[in-house]
Amino acid sequence: FICSDRPAKRGKLTEAHQLCVAAESQSPSTAHRMNPELAVAGLAMWAVRLVCSCLFYSIFVPLLLPFELAYAFYSSYLQFLIKSCVERLEMVGNLDAIWMQDTPDNRAIINGVLVLREQLRLEQLRELVQGKLVEATARGNRRVAAKFQQIVSKRYRRYVWREDEAYSVRNHVIEHEGRPPACQAELEEILSEYCSQGLNMQRPPWLIVLVPTAEGGSVLLFRGHHVIGDGVSLTTLMMTYLVDKPPAQITPVRFGSGRSKFWMFAKAVLEAPYLLGRDLLRADDRSPLHGPALSGRKRLAWIRDIPLAQVKRVRQATDSTVNDVLMACLASSFRRYFLRRGWAIPGSLKAYVPIDMRPRSGEFELDNQFSLIFMGLDLSNGDPLKTLRQTKRSMNRIKASSLPVANYLAMIYCMANLPAWICEALFEVLAKKSSLILSNVPGPAEQLSIGGSVIEAMSFWVPSRSNIGLGVSILSYNNQVSVGVITDTNIMEDPQQLAADFKACLNQLERAVKQGRNED
């Protein structure tokens, strides 16, 4: 019953696989609305989940309990030692510490860019960053960005934050010393060079590079280690404290609410053993974009002028969501890329997708609070409408699934109750199952400015881990959508083409909608 998600030959799913996938997204309460064959398969899948949960909670949990208690006592003892140190130390959160696994080929660094209409002076930018961002406080005089003045160190085999006694904003806000870029291609070359480098971990792990442009504007490249926070929290921080006037809304609607959230949590607790086991047993994604040895050299590209109104027109005409349309266009972009390279087209391309798990209310925290799920991008056919419909079905299964909550609970449980080396091994195994990291972060809906200079565009690039050498990011800002691609040079040499294909695929999808083509 643990079905392989590897597609059949020629990119078409077998009848048994279709039945299994459909059944997995159902619950016993909906079985009566399905055809008999699907109803039986759905009930069988739920029976397997129930058996897995019973075995895990009745056998494995009691067996692990003595080891968990011993490890909890050991961890408490280490925390006592750390708090007893003369230095003022603070433990790195469990979900933050998992990102301290940099390799020369892959570093957990989030890179973001702001394109400004006017040119900022270096000293002006340093004053803004220090006064409005680094020294920002919230209710109770709490330092919002305290990590921007702290170094990640190890004490008693635990990662801790300690104050950087030699902190200076001059070490973290610098100006590019080369020739100003005259076009986006030259700018991408400069940014790629910076993104191929690591951060100085003997200082607070962040950096802002001011790049003056030949047209008289400025570009700000922000680089922050994932141990500081995830993309949503870093975006919220920048757009709340660094800009001249914070936007009305930054963060999206949170995952679940009220009664539905309670039942989703209960369902996740029940299904977590089965879902985690299924992901661990999942076959590694096999494609030309996954597997080659990485070089550590990064190349990035982005396209920034995709009208959000165009995406919404397609959404309304197809009874889908903005995310459905964006994911379908991305799938079609990869299909085009495979065809252009003369590669065999797989039925799907597996991606790791982070999902924000923050509660609706509460004070802002600069940290990592997200779950990771697998998502398959449908590459099986060239009809954009069929691709959109298949993408919509996949997205609906994810929305109805408890997988995001189950994975989040599993991450918290593992990091709190298991030694770091076991957690790292588990995450390494899971990371090898997909070909790329895919992140979608909503940005401000209105135009903003920094130091009086209008922000014309913004984008970001996600970090990768293990042997994944490709990341795709989607960001909305001021009624525009930007698509960023970052890749290891051994995986993809021309990310600009993939980014450009995204816009072409959106245009193709809109034409297909207007023509009313429907072959299903």
| DSSP assignments along 36-51, one per residue | HHHHHHHHHHHHHHHH
Q: What's the confidence (pLDDT) of residue 412?
A: 86
- Look up residue 163 and give its DSSP letter: E
Mark whether 462 and 493 lie in a shared domain.
Answer: yes
**Tokens representing 42?**
């759905």
Q: Is residue 76 part of a domain?
A: no
Indicate the pairing of strand 89-91 with strand 158-163.
Answer: antiparallel
Tell whether 500 is covered by a domain. yes
Q: How far is CA 512 from CA 38, 314, 317, 338, in A?
A: 32, 10, 11, 22
**Whether 228 and 374 share a structural domain:** no
Judgement on whether residues 225 and 275 belong to the same structural domain of the protein: no
Q: Do 176 and 102 belong together in one domain? A: yes
Tokens of 423: 């957690």
Q: Domain count of the chain? A: 2
376 pLDDT exceeds 80?
yes
238-289: pLDDT as tens digits: 999 999 999 876 545 454 444 567 778 888 888 888 888 888 888 888 888 9
DSSP code at position 133 = I
**Strand, helix or coil for residue 100:** coil
Bridge partners for 142 per DSSP: 138
223, 242, 261 - which closes a domain: 242
* pLDDT > 90 in the chain, percent: 56
Beta-strand pair 436-442/109-116:
unpaired
Distance CA 289, CA 349 (A): 9
Global pTM value: 0.88
Residues 482 and 502 in one domain: yes
Domain boundary among 242, 263, 289: 242
Q: Are residues 292 and 416 in the same domain?
A: yes
Question: Which pLDDT band, with edges at 50, 70 and 90, does 211 fall under?
Answer: very high
Is 28 within 8 Å of 43 (Cβ atoms)?
A: yes
Let me know whether 325 and 278 are in one domain: yes
125 lies in which domain range? 89-242
Q: Which residues fall within 8 angstroms of residue 490, CB to CB, at 6 or more apart?
A: 292, 293, 294, 295, 297, 469
Residue 401 sits in the same domain as residue 498: yes
Provide the pLDDT confidence category of residue 62 given band limits of 50, 70 and 90: confident
Q: What is the CATH number of the domain that holds 20?
A: 3.30.559.30
The upper half-sphere exposure of residue 425, i.e. CA atoms within 13 Å in the direction of its Cβ, equals 5
**Which CATH number does the domain housing residue 93 bear?**
3.30.559.10
Q: What angle do CA 90, 225, 304 make, to 5 degrees?
A: 145
Task: From residue 163, give the alpha-carbon distance in Å to each of 98, 160, 467.
Answer: 21, 10, 33
